[in-house]
Chains A and B, each alone.
Chain A
Amino acid sequence: MDAKRRDFLKMAGLSALAGLTAPAAVHMLVNKGPFQANAATAAPVGEAGEGGHEAAPATGVRLGMVIDIKKFGENQELARQCIEACHSIHNVPDYGNAKDEIKWIWTEDYEHAFTDQSQYKRNTTLHELPIMTLCNHCDNPPCVRACPTQATFKSKKTGAVLMDYHRCIGCRFCMAACPYGARSFNWRDPRGKDAKGQPFIKHLNADFPTRTRGVVEKCNFCAERLAVGKQPACVEACGDTGALVFGDLNDPSSPISKVLAENFTIQRNAALGTKPSLFYII
């Protein structure tokens, strides 16, 4: 048997094996995901940790979020709860100064969140509302384009923009590239303590990795929670207020698609062509 023929047979055998096992693998993934109800249309959701670089089946899921500004205005505590839930679950350190600050989700005023919108004669209430701000999980992310090591990448399974903290070299090109200020850098050791001996991470969550000094981090749309069938921490913190609606933008029957169909929403600086996956009901 010549080499070519042997290779062909090997390939054929492997393909057959893959074909036999693939449906089972997909089935497992589907039942693990949070969208069991839509299993027929929605696809496996969830990332196996941060290192998922392998090609995934093109499922067409694109996770997105609708943020209802009015609901955050009605309940001013809500924003704080979201931030607290996210930052404590993800071991986000608090250095108590703006220079070293790391944040995954935070509030901005309207003027700074929507720099491309006219501020002239805006209704006064809008200026007082806290605007929840986090990574836009762009469909066309400039940070992913800029990263020289693919340490930040778009998940093929969910469309979310994720980070591999073990690959990041800390060049901060992604921070220059992000038009939304969503990225933070670990200027110092987040596992350390301040002068008074207080740890920067107040309550360590052993289920999520802490980061090392010298890498960039940001919101990961709670990939680790989606993988075990939970909602993102901020969405969970909002409970049934409807302040945050999370789901698959590509699924026409998903709750988020319905909210988007029924409401006027705007996006942050959409003119840049980044195609954000976050929408704001103003």
Chain B
Amino acid sequence: MIEKALSGSNRYWAWIIFLLAIMGVGGMFYVQQWNYGLGITGMSRDVSWGVYISQFTFLVGVAAGGLMLVLPYYLHNYKVFGRITILGEFMAIAAVSMCLMFIIADLGQPTRALNVLIHPTPHSMLFWDMIVLNGYLFLNVVGGWGVLHAQYKGLKYATWLKWIVYLSIPWAISIHTVTAFLYCGLPGRHFWLTAILAPRFLASAFAAGPALLLFIALIMKRTTKFDVGQEATSKLVTIIGYAALINFFFVACEMFVAYYSQIPGHMHTLDYLFWGLEGKDNLVPWMRFSVFGGAIGIALLFLARARKTEVGIMVACALIFVSLWIDKGLGLVLGGFVPSPLERVTEYYPSLPEIGITMGIWSAGFLILTILYKVAIEVKLEKEA
């Protein structure tokens, strides 16, 4: 089946080479980081996690977002998603792979990563995160690839594969819940210390994952013969729109609790993110764009569906994806460190090598995604023809 990824148009190969080139640059920067240490990044004593961990957190959401396709198809027999469920599963594979790469990039001693297995520590949420993420990767590789391979062979997939897929559904919830638990169980970090964090993570995941998927599916519609279909597009718009709305509702709940209670610790980070604190405000334009861009994106999404303009839907998906990326991929993780527990405001700017490594990992993820999607749509088109 993998041979489908080994032949393609010039445009396909140009895209692959483009991704490989960025990966190469990222790899060179990683060598630099390997030789110097994490001091090469913009992280500091006060802001001890940066873009690596924030990308990881965001991408766990993208991975969990695949659930929004798998669940309707397998549990509710929603046939319309039959063609694209595999896209959700393969997106989960690419996203979890990126998560694992970001974790490794962030470790001070990456060669000791297996200590997490050698000294299993159930009271650490990172231990559970390791289990659920690798488990989710395994379930999607076996489930997604297995079901597609059966179709490739013109067979009905084995019954046990169905149970793998069923298991992946609650598992998707678990990956983002445990990832939220990394943050929301820490005393002294008021911004994270909120029971709504896991639900909020899930809401943003169910918007961001399908938004990226729909965006890519509509690009593929233009560049290949693969058409996601009117009805599936419409259903995805509903899912993305409502999930994004719920996410922003949760953000509003956080705002209310902080500013109505007037408890300083609850207000500080929100002050920093949206208005600036002690003259430090490097995330303010981003966070404001996240709110306004997200709101415009949701409105445009429903409007574009009513008008049946695909370009409108694509722009809306991109806006929502970027908005949620800022919300969780920047604000949530970085904001938790500002102010510090000693109420000092230290700002963080990622360094050039750090951005290079981050882009390299994103490219590696998109390479995995491209190869898997290439295989998937070729098999689908071949069997449907």
A residues within 8 Å of B by Cβ? 98-102, 108, 111-113, 115, 142, 145-151, 167-173, 175-181, 184-189, 212-216, 269, 272-274
Contact = CB atoms under 8 A, between A and B. Distances in A.
B32 interface: no
A98 B44 CA distance: 8
Contact of B43 (A113, A148, A149, A187): A187
A186 B37 contact: yes
A212 B115 CA distance: 17
Given A145-B123, A173-B126, A184 B38 contact: no
B127 A148 contact: yes
A274 B187 contact: yes
Interface in B90-148: 103, 106-110, 112-113, 115-116, 118-119, 121, 123-127, 130
B38 A169 contact: no
B338 to A, nearest CB: 13
24 contacts: A111-B343, A112-B343, A142-B187, A146-B126, A147-B124, A148-B124, A149-B115, A149-B119, A149-B121, A151-B115, A167-B112, A169-B113, A170-B109, A172-B106, A179-B188, A180-B188, A180-B341, A185-B38, A186-B108, A187-B38, A188-B39, A213-B37, A216-B108, A269-B188
A179 B187 contact: yes
Nearest to A214: B108
Interface in B34-89: 36-39, 43-46, 48-49
The 4 closest A-B pairs by CB, nearest first: A170-B108, A179-B188, A214-B108, A187-B39
A188 B123 contact: no
Given A148-B126, A172-B49, A189-B37, A142 B107 contact: no
A170 B106 CA distance: 8
A185 B48 contact: yes
Contacts of B189: 176, 179
A184 B45 contact: yes
A101 B45 contact: yes
Interface residues of B, number: 44
B26 interface: no
B186 interface: yes
A108 B342 contact: yes
A42 B278 CA distance: 49
B336 interface: yes
Interface of B: 36-39, 43-46, 48-49, 103, 106-110, 112-113, 115-116, 118-119, 121, 123-127, 130, 182-183, 185-189, 336-337, 340-344, 346
A275 to B, nearest CB: 11
A169 B121 CA distance: 14
A170 B116 CA distance: 12
Given A148-B130, A149-B121, A173 B39 contact: no
B38 A273 contact: no
Contacts of B185: 145
A150 B121 contact: yes
Contacts of B36: 188
A216 B182 CA distance: 18
A181 B121 CA distance: 23
Which of B44, B49, B109, B182 has the largest count of A CB atoms less than 10 A from its CB? Answer: B109
A213 B186 CA distance: 26
Contacts of B182: 173
A102 B37 CA distance: 15
B106 A181 contact: no
Contacts of B119: 149-150, 167
Given A148-B124, A148-B127, A181-B342, A171 B107 contact: yes
B48 A169 contact: no
Contact of A215 (B44, B108, B187): B108
Contacts of B110: 169
A146 B124 contact: yes
Nearest to B189: A176
A142 B127 CA distance: 15
